[in-house]
Amino acid sequence: MVLTSTLAWSALECTAIQGATTSSEPLYQDGFSAGWIEAGSYNIASRNTAATPVGRVGTSALEVLYATYWGAFEMHRMEPINTSGKRALVFRVRGIVSTAELDQLYIGLDRSDGVILGYLPVTNYMITPDKPPFPSNQYDTNKWYTVTIPLTAFNAQNTKIKGVIFMVGGLATPIYLDEVWLVQGLEFPLGGMSPYTATINGVLDHHMAVDGNGLSIGNCADAYITAYTGEEGRLQFGAPNPVVASAPTNACAPGVPLNGYQKNGGAAFSVGGQYDMTGGNDSGIFLYYDGHTGYDYPVSNGTPVYAVANGVVQESSAHSYGDTVVVKHQNGYTSHYLHLTTRNVFVGQEVRAGVTSIGTTGAGHLHFTMQLYGERVDPYGWIGSYPDPARAFAVNTRLWK
């Protein structure tokens, strides 16, 4: 499916589904490219490839109006695209209105041998930003949303895709589609280390404070800490670790330390076998930090830090807690590197995944965060045995290579 697309910097190693080659030069193709043909549709009242309102980039989007309750629209690639190494299907949509699980938009992938993979319903947890609070509980039909669907959900890894099918139901008004990508994996920011072997001593907290509607309240403490593995620390299982007095403070209650919370029974945390088990971390029995929006990797000060994906430096600045670099990637992703002692890049500079050193570590660790259109996402994905508490933010797709 094609739509308006931007191939700027090949950021986040994103591959435009229309198949154009990546480049270090900002360029985009507006509307349908020569690499796509309409494969077929049914129950379509009208379609417009140069429709307004415009998408996030470019000057037009695809507008489709369905004639009956259910209809489908498919575009084929002239040449199939290989999904090897890709992590997720990402696209932009406008016009969705559903109130609960979105029983109005399904996505299918057409494999090169003609087998259809899917159809998957687009549900609330796949959408960024999430729907507004109750009682309205509806998406704004005048607003663009980002849909992220892991390729594992389609069972579409290591295969060739020739088409994307959008099936829509229950819409009396047009739906707009734009900016479709397949997202590749991230390089790890610390050279010589692996995302699944590097020691972790502070996790991205999947269980931050929420309001009465289940929506996040900033980066606030809530007496729960949940790691991507589903392991959970709670204040009620033991007082916060008194040893760690230098932990960051709660943004919702300044001066209140965000310390570690204990697991029921007092057993040690594992976090995929990567959790810090040193004596200074009380042998791993406390999980750090409540309200944390990223990962802390303990390394010696001065360790080089590399860009995790191609992109352009959006911020390079000094702070009281150490220097910060933010890299802007394609289709809404940004990577954030904190507590640096030196910065090797400047705002506007293009960086290359795993090649460009953006600085060196300080404070005994690297703090690393990924965001999608300003909402935190977990590059480790979610492998807990219950629904991800962070789904009010964005679907967490496993992004590491």
Mean pLDDT of 112-121: 91
Residue found under tokens 């003609």: 114
44-51 and 286-287 beta bridge pairing: unpaired
CA–CA separation, 229 and 328 (whole Å): 27
Fill in the amino acid letter for 125.
Y
Q: What is the mean pLDDT of residues 389-397?
A: 75
Structure tokens at 96: 């969705």
Q: Which residue has the higher pLDDT, 360 or 85?
A: 360
Closest C-alpha among 71, 72, 61 to residue 180: 61
CA distance 179 to 60: 10
* Residue given tokens 């920011």 in the structure block: 189
Q: What does the block give as tokens for 128?
A: 């960024």
Neighbouring residues of 135: CB distance < 8 A, sequence distance ≥ 6? none
Give pLDDT tens digits for 164-221.
Answer: 898 887 677 888 887 777 888 899 999 999 999 999 999 999 988 776 666 667 777 7
The pLDDT of residue 4 is: 26
Cα dihedral sign, 262-267-268-272: negative
Q: What is the predicted pLDDT for the residue at 52?
A: 62
Give the chain's domains with CATH numbers: 5-184 (2.60.120.260), 224-392 (2.70.70.10)
Concatenated DSSP letters for 213-274? TS-B-TT---SEEE-TT--EEEGGGSPPPSS--SSPBPTTSTT-B---EEPTTSPPP-TTTT
Q: What is the mean pLDDT of residues 328-356?
A: 93
pLDDT at residue 58, as a whole number: 54
Please state which of the ranges 18-22, 30-34, 170-174, 178-182 shows the lowest mean pLDDT. 18-22
Instruction: Between 301 and 73, name the one with better pLDDT.
Output: 301
> In which residue are the tokens 């980002």 written?
146
pLDDT band at 163, cuts 50/70/90?
confident
pTM over 0.75: yes
- How much is the pLDDT for 103? 61
Whole-number Cα distances in Å, 90 to 9, 175, 295: 17, 16, 24
